Amino acid sequence: MPLRARPIACLLVAALAAGPAGTAAAQGGFQTLDPFYRGEAAQRSFDGGFALSAEAAVRDADLLGIAEPGTPASPLAFSGRLDYALLPQVDLSLVADLTGGVGRGPLGLSWVVVKPYWHNEQTDYAVRLAVDPASEGGLGFRQTDVAFLSTTTLSPSVTTDVALGIRRVRAGYTPATDEALDAGTVNPEGFLRGAPGDGVVRVVGQELRVSWGYNIVFDPAGSRLALGLVAEAGDYALVRTDATPDDGPERIRSGIGWLRTGFEFSRPSFQLAPFLSLPIVTWADVRGEPVRYGPRPEKLRAGLRVMLR
C-alpha cells in the first residue's frame, strides 16, 4: 500500500467501526458474515505488502429466519478486511464483522484466512483455508471453509474464475420470535419459530459451494466487468439448547443459486467494486416439507466494496 494511502485507510476503518451497526452480510441461508465465493480469484489483488478493505451492503432477511445471538436485525451490513502478504505467494487475511456481535470480541473477528498461490501456463491456482475463531468448536474443530480456486486468462481482456469449496458449519443462532416477525426484522417466510425465552439453536452441518464467472478487463489497471453464478447446497442438524432428551434434532436441507454481477474500478492505490446478487433458485426441505422458489427480485442484494492497497 502506498504511503499516501495509509492515513486514508486508517480513517476509513475507524469511520466504519464507529458507524451504525448492521447484520453481517449473508450469502446463504443463515445470517452470518460470508465473504467467500463472491468474485474470489486465484490471484493477489494488491501489489504492496498489505491492503485494507471495507464493504457495505443492503440485503433482505436470511432464508431460514434465524440470526446469531446479539446481532441487531438490519438490512444494512458492514464488514472490514485486512490482507497481508505473508510470503511472496502466501496471503494472510483477517475478516471482521463490524457489528461486534456477541462472542466475537471488540473487533468482531469472523474469519482467519490463509491462501497460498501458484501459476502454471495461463492459469493461476490457489487453496484458501478459512477458520472462524469464534465458532463453537467440537473435538477441537471450528467452523472451517476450504476451497480450491483457479483463474484462467482466455485473452488479454477476458478471464474466468472457478471456485469449489466445502464448509463445516458449526454455530449458534437465536430463533425468530413472533415479535420479530411482527416488527419485520426477520424473513416472514423463514422456517424456524420460537417464543420469548427459547434457547439458542445449535447448527451443525456441511455445505458444498461452487462459483463460476467471466471477467472483461478494459484498462491497464485491471478494471473489469464481472458476471458469475454461485451455487450452495447444505445439510444441517439443528438442536435447541432447551430441548428434552426425547427431542431429536431438526434436519434442514437447502440449496440456493445466485446470479452475481459487479464492476471493479481499479487504480494502483485503490479499488471500488459495486455489486448485485439475485437469487435465481431456492430450495429447502424442513421436517419433510419442501419449498421451491424461482427468481426473486425482491431479495436482490446490493453492496459496495472499497479497497485501499
Please give the span between the terminal C-alpha atoms of the chain, in angstroms, as a whole number. Answer: 4
Distance CA 87, CA 44 (A): 12
pLDDT at 188: 45
> 139-191, pLDDT tens digit by residue?
445 789 999 999 999 999 999 999 999 999 887 665 555 565 555 554 444 54
> 213-272, pLDDT tens digit by residue?
999 999 999 999 999 999 999 998 877 766 666 666 778 888 999 999 999 999 999 999
Q: Are 211 and 228 in contact (CB under 8 A)?
A: yes
Q: Which helix (H) or strand (E) holds 245?
A: none
Backbone angles phi and psi of 178, in degrees to 5? -60, -35
Residue 233: exposed, middle, or buried by beta-carbon count in 10 A (0-12, 13-18, 19+)? middle
This prediction has a pTM of 0.80
Contacts of 139 (CB under 8 A, 6+ apart): none
Q: What is the percent of the chain where pLDDT is above 90?
A: 46
The grid coordinates listed for 71 are 446481532
pLDDT at 6: 44
- How open is the CA angle 6-51-152, to the nearest 5 degrees? 150
> 262-306, pLDDT tens digit by residue?
999 999 999 999 999 999 998 888 767 788 889 988 888 899 999
Q: What is the percent of the chain where pLDDT is above 70?
A: 66
Q: Which helix (H) or strand (E) holds 14?
A: helix 6-18
Residue 17 vs residue 198, higher pLDDT: 198
CA 72, 28, 149, 77 torsion: positive or negative?
A: negative
Evaluate if residue 197 carries a pLDDT over 70. Answer: no
pLDDT at 7: 37
Residue 139: exposed, middle, or buried by beta-carbon count in 10 A (0-12, 13-18, 19+)? exposed
- How open is the CA angle 243-244-245, to the nearest 5 degrees? 120
> 25-37, pLDDT tens digit by residue?
445 556 566 789 9
Distance CA 244, CA 40 (A): 43
The grid coordinates listed for 134 are 469464534
> 31-75, pLDDT tens digit by residue?
566 789 988 999 999 988 999 999 998 866 555 555 555 555 567
